[in-house]
């Protein structure tokens, strides 16, 4: 006799992806978010958002939520050539044109606030000063700068300058100014970038934070800057318009932590107190998810721990397909799924998921820098079906 519980698992229905949800103060129609993506197309001098950027984001307005590319809160916070900022009047005006276009197209947009800390280079810093960090530890790897010919170039990282204790309030104010500017720019909220080895994670992780003052040592002190920044942003926006992004277990940008379980358990627990719009977690098992390998036990455990500590809206990003996104939401492991490369190459990604259509392939050569090509010229399904034969179709996100 066939026992029901031994029946093969059914193909997950993607219906769950199309259930509405409330993200803080916003009602959104489905669960498919556009992840923050560095595209390095701001206008220089000044790192100002352009009309082309407005067109790019407006094309993607059918996302449940657009999270802007990482946007530096100060000149000191910049780590790559041509990334946009949100600290000058011109930048704020540029972002306002972006959010206007997104809103006109029916979308919603949070601005991601970014300070890169040591992941920078004097060539990108005001007066060619040293980048700042919790401790003077040189990251492995290279910085992406603009050389004297106006071209992108990779140069080795330098040893950063350790921040003085009396500079810390100034750092928090850089984020607060970014948060305020995002309001003037008519964004719908902000996301604090606490991930990927940038400044806030440099403070969180034991490998990059050797401080012996109130911002170093035990996790309560290493997390102090992140929490102060979040509180400063909440003071401006209210908690329901503030999200936070973290990347547990990631080693990106030469990050290393002695006890990520303790670090992220504490962070999730503390962030839960604020009743944020959402917590955004970069999936440490993106590769396994993509290749169909089992999720490592350690990752499973840590994600379950974060989920148990943070009871609010949880967004996950990294390596998801339509089916795995639906599975994770169905299983209660996430409420929203953010798509990066898939959204980059498919401006109408939710519609393609809904119709189980094919996908445009993203072209890594056009990810960073350049103009329209590989940016605003990926066709929607409608454009594809109505005018020309479909370009290369890749079904790997299905």
User: Applying CB under 6 A, which residues contact ligand PHB?
Assistant: 38, 70, 80, 195-196
Of 203 and 353, CB closest to ligand PHB: 203
Of 119 and 357, CB closest to ligand PHB: 119
Q: Which residue, chain included where needed, has tokens 């000058």?
A: 88
Smallest gap from residue 116 Cβ to ligand PHB (A)? 8
Q: How far apart are CA 279 and CA 239, in angstroms?
A: 12
56, 80, 175, 198: the catalytic one is 198
Helix axes 260-272, 297-309, angle to 10 degrees: 20
Smallest gap from residue 285 Cβ to ligand PHB (A)? 18
DSSP string, 93-161: HHHHHHHHHHHHTT--EEEEEE--TTSS-GGGSGGGPPPEESS--PPSSEEEEE-TTS-EEEEE--PPE
- The residue sitting closest to ligand PHB, measured at its beta carbon, is 38
Smallest gap from residue 245 Cβ to ligand PHB (A)? 8
Smallest gap from residue 114 Cβ to ligand PHB (A)? 7
State yes or no: is 170 an active-site residue: no
Of 278 and 353, CB closest to ligand PHB: 278
Smallest gap from residue 387 Cβ to ligand PHB (A)? 33
Q: How far apart are CA 351 and CA 29, in angstroms?
A: 12
The 10 Å CB-count burial string (b at 16+, else e) for 284-297 is bbbeebbeeeeeee
Q: How far apart are CA 386 and CA 380, in angstroms?
A: 10
Q: Which residue, chain included where needed, has tokens 């999720």?
A: 295
Distances (CA, A) of 298 to 29, 130, 201, 345: 33, 37, 20, 32
Q: Label the pairing between strands 21-23 and 26-28.
A: antiparallel
Of 79 and 347, CB closest to ligand PHB: 79
Name which of 126, 137, 197, 139 is nearest 163 in CA terms.
137
Smallest gap from residue 308 Cβ to ligand PHB (A)? 26
**Tokens found for residue 396:** 């790997």
Of 14 and 253, CB closest to ligand PHB: 253
Helices (H) and strands (E) in the chain, counts: 13, 16
Name which of 14, 254, 27 is nearest 133 in CA terms.
254
Of 263 and 327, CB closest to ligand PHB: 263
Active site residues: 198
């Amino acid at each position: 006799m066939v026992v029901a519980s031994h029946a093969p698992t059914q193909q997950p229905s993607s219906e769950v992806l199309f259930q509405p949800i409330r993200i803080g103060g916003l009602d959104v129609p489905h669960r498919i978010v556009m992840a923050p993506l560095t595209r390095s197309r701001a206008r220089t001098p000044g790192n100002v958002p352009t009309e082309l950027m407005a067109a790019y984001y407006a094309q993607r307005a059918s996302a449940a939520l657009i999270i802007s590319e990482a946007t530096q809160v100060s000149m000191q916070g910049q780590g790559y050539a041509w990334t946009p900022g949100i600290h000058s009047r011109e930048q704020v005006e540029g972002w306002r044109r972006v959010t206007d276009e997104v809103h006109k197209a029916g979308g919603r947009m949070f601005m991601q606030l970014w300070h890169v800390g040591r992941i920078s280079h004097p060539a990108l810093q005001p007066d060619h000063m040293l980048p700042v960090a919790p401790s003077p530890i040189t990251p492995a790897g290279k910085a992406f700068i603009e050389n004297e010919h106006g071209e992108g170039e990779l140069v080795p990282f330098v040893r950063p300058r350790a921040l003085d204790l009396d500079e810390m309030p100034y750092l928090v104010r850089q984020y607060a100014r970014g948060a305020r500017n995002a309001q003037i720019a008519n964004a719908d909220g902000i996301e604090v970038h606490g991930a990927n080895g940038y400044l806030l994670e440099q403070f969180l992780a034991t490998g990059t934070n050797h401080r012996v003052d109130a911002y170093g040592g035990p996790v309560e002190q290493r997390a102090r800057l992140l929490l102060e920044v979040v509180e400063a942003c909440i003071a401006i926006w209210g908690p329901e318009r503030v999200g936070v992004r973290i990347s547990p277990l990631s080693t990106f940008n030469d990050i290393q932590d002695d006890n990520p379980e303790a670090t992220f358990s504490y962070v999730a627990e503390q962030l839960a107190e604020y009743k944020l719009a959402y917590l955004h977690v970069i999936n440490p098992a993106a590769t396994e998810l993509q290749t169909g390998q089992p999720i490592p036990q350690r990752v499973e455990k840590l994600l379950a721990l974060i989920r148990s500590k943070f009871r609010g809206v949880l967004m996950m990003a990294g390596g998801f397909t339509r089916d795995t996104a639906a599975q994770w939401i169905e299983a209660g492991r996430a409420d929203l799924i953010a798509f990066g490369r898939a959204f980059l190459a498919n401006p109408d990604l939710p519609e393609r998921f809904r119709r189980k259509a094919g996908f445009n392939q993203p072209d890594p050569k056009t990810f960073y820098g350049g103009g329209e090509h590989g940016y605003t010229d990926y066709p929607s399904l409608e454009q594809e079906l109505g005018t020309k034969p479909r370009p290369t179709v890749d079904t790997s996100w299905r």
